[in-house]
A and B are shown apart, each in its own frame.
Chain A
Amino acid sequence: MMHEVIVIGAGSIGTPVAMSLAERGVKVLVLDSGMSSGQGNNKCAIGGIRATHSDPAKVALSLHSLKTFSTWKQTHGDDIGWFMGGYTFVSYSEEISRSLKSIIPAQQKAGLNISWRSAEEIAEKVPGINRRGLLGGTFSPEDGSASPMESSYAFYRQAVRKGADFHFGETVKSVKSGDVFTVVTEKASYSAEKVINCAGSYAREVGAMVGVDLPVYPDMHEAGITEPVLRFFNPMVVDISRSEGSANYYFYQYSTGQVVFCITPDPPLQGKGREETSVFLPQVAARMVKLYPRLANLKVRRTWRGCYPQTPDGTPIIGQVGPEGFYAAVGMCGQGFMLGPGVGEVVARLVTGESTEEDTMVLNSMRLDRTFAGTEALK
Chain B
Amino acid sequence: MATEARITRHPVLPPLSDNWVKFTFNGREMIGRKGEMVSSAVFAGGEHVFGHHHKDGGPQGLFCANGQCSQCTLIIDGIPLKSCIIPLEEGMVVQSVEGLPSLGDIDPPEVKAPERLETDVLIIGAGPSGISAAMELGRSGYRVVLVDDKDRLGGKLVLQTHKFFGSEQDCRAGVRGTEIASIIAGELKEFQSVDVWLESVVLAVFSDGTLGVRRPDGYKIVKPRQLLVAAGAREKSLPFPGCTLPGVYGAGAFQTLVNRDQIRCSERVFVLGGGNVGLIGAYHAIQAGMTVVGLAEGMDRCGGYKVHADKIARLGVPIYTRHTVLAAHGRESIESVTISAVDENFKPIPGTEKNFKVDTLLVAVGLSSVNEFHAKAVEFGIPSMLTGDSEEIAEASAAMFSGKICGRKIANSLRGETVEIPADWLEKAEVLKSPGGAVSEYRESKQHEGVFPVIHCLQEIPCNPCMTICPKGLIITSGHPVKGLPQYSGGCIGCRKCVAICPGLAITLVDYRKKSEFPTVTVPWELGDWVVEKGQTVTVTEWEGETIGTGTVISLKAAPGFPSTMLLDLEVHRSIANRVAGVRVQKSEVTAPEKTVPELPVADSAIVCRCERVTAGEIRQLLREGVRDMNELKARSRAGFGACGGKTCEILIPRIIRSEGIDPDEITDFTKRPLFAETRLGIFCGREEDE
Contact = CB atoms under 8 A, between A and B. Distances in A.
Contacts of B680: 296-300
A116 interface: no
Given A36-B632, A278-B212, A296-B106, A285 B685 contact: yes
22 contacts: A35-B632, A153-B635, A229-B102, A230-B99, A277-B208, A278-B204, A278-B210, A278-B212, A278-B221, A282-B685, A288-B681, A289-B108, A289-B109, A290-B111, A296-B106, A299-B643, A299-B680, A299-B681, A300-B684, A301-B675, A303-B673, A304-B673
A230 B645 contact: no
Interface in A182-239: 226-230, 232
A108 B632 CA distance: 40
Interface in B599-650: 627-629, 631-632, 635-636, 643, 645
Nearest to B687: A296
A273 B629 contact: no
Given A278-B206, A302-B675, A35 B685 contact: no
Interface string B670-681: 000111001111
Contacts of A39: 629, 631
B380 A275 contact: yes
B289 interface: no
B379 interface: yes
Contact of B103 (A149, A230, A302): A230
B111 A286 contact: yes
B681 A43 contact: no
B380 to A, nearest CB: 6
A232 B681 contact: no
B689 to A, nearest CB: 12
B536 interface: no
A73 interface: no
B631 A285 contact: no
A302 to B, nearest CB: 5
A257 B111 CA distance: 25
A276 B673 contact: yes
Interface residues of A, number: 48
Nearest to A156: B632
A168 B684 CA distance: 38
Contacts of B207: 273, 275-277
A297 B103 CA distance: 8
B108 A130 contact: yes
Given A275-B379, A276-B673, A300-B680, A43 B631 contact: yes
Interface of B: 54, 70, 79-80, 99-109, 111-114, 204, 206-208, 210, 212, 219, 221, 379-380, 627-629, 631-632, 635-636, 643, 645, 668, 673-675, 678-687
B635 A150 contact: yes
A153 B105 CA distance: 36
Contact of B674 (A169, A273, A295, A303): A303
A299 B102 contact: no
B631 A36 contact: yes
B271 to A, nearest CB: 32
Contacts of B100: 228-230, 257
A276 B636 CA distance: 24
A300 B679 contact: yes
A294 B108 CA distance: 8
B103 A282 contact: no
Contact of B685 (A275, A286, A298): A286
A263 B374 CA distance: 28
A17 to B, nearest CB: 20
Q: Is the interface of B mostly helix, strand, loop or mixed?
A: loop
Contact of B629 (A128, A168, A296, A300): A168
A293 interface: yes
A279 interface: yes
B103 A232 contact: yes
Given A39-B629, A277-B207, A293-B108, 5 more contacts: A35-B632, A43-B631, A150-B635, A293-B107, A297-B103
B100 to A, nearest CB: 5
Nearest to B642: A301
B210 A226 contact: no
Nearest to A168: B629
Contact of B678 (A34, A290, A299): A299
Given A35-B668, A300-B681, A302-B673, A278 B208 contact: yes
B585 to A, nearest CB: 45
A284 B683 CA distance: 12
Nearest to B207: A275
A333 to B, nearest CB: 23
A180 interface: no
A232 B631 contact: no
Contact of A36 (B219, B629, B675, B679): B629
The 5 closest A-B pairs by CB, nearest first: A296-B682, A275-B207, A285-B684, A36-B629, A299-B678
A294 B636 contact: no
A132 interface: yes
Given A229-B80, A303-B675, A298 B103 contact: yes
Contacts of A325: none
Given A286-B113, A289-B111, A296-B681, A230 B101 contact: yes
Nearest to A301: B678
Contacts of B80: 227, 229, 299
Nearest to A245: B113
A230 B102 contact: yes
A303 B674 CA distance: 6
Nearest to B103: A229
Contacts of A232: 102-103
Nearest to B116: A278
A103 interface: no
Nearest to A169: B668
A169 B109 CA distance: 47
A229 B685 contact: no
B631 A35 contact: yes
Contacts of A168: 629
A149 B681 CA distance: 24
Given A153-B632, A276-B204, A297 B104 contact: yes
Contacts of B114: 282
A127 interface: yes
A57 interface: no
A281 interface: yes
A228 B685 CA distance: 21
Interface string A12-40: 00000000000000000000001111010
A230 B103 CA distance: 7
Contact of B105 (A43, A128, A149, A230): A128
Contact of A290 (B108, B628, B632, B643): B108
A37 to B, nearest CB: 8
Nearest to A78: B636
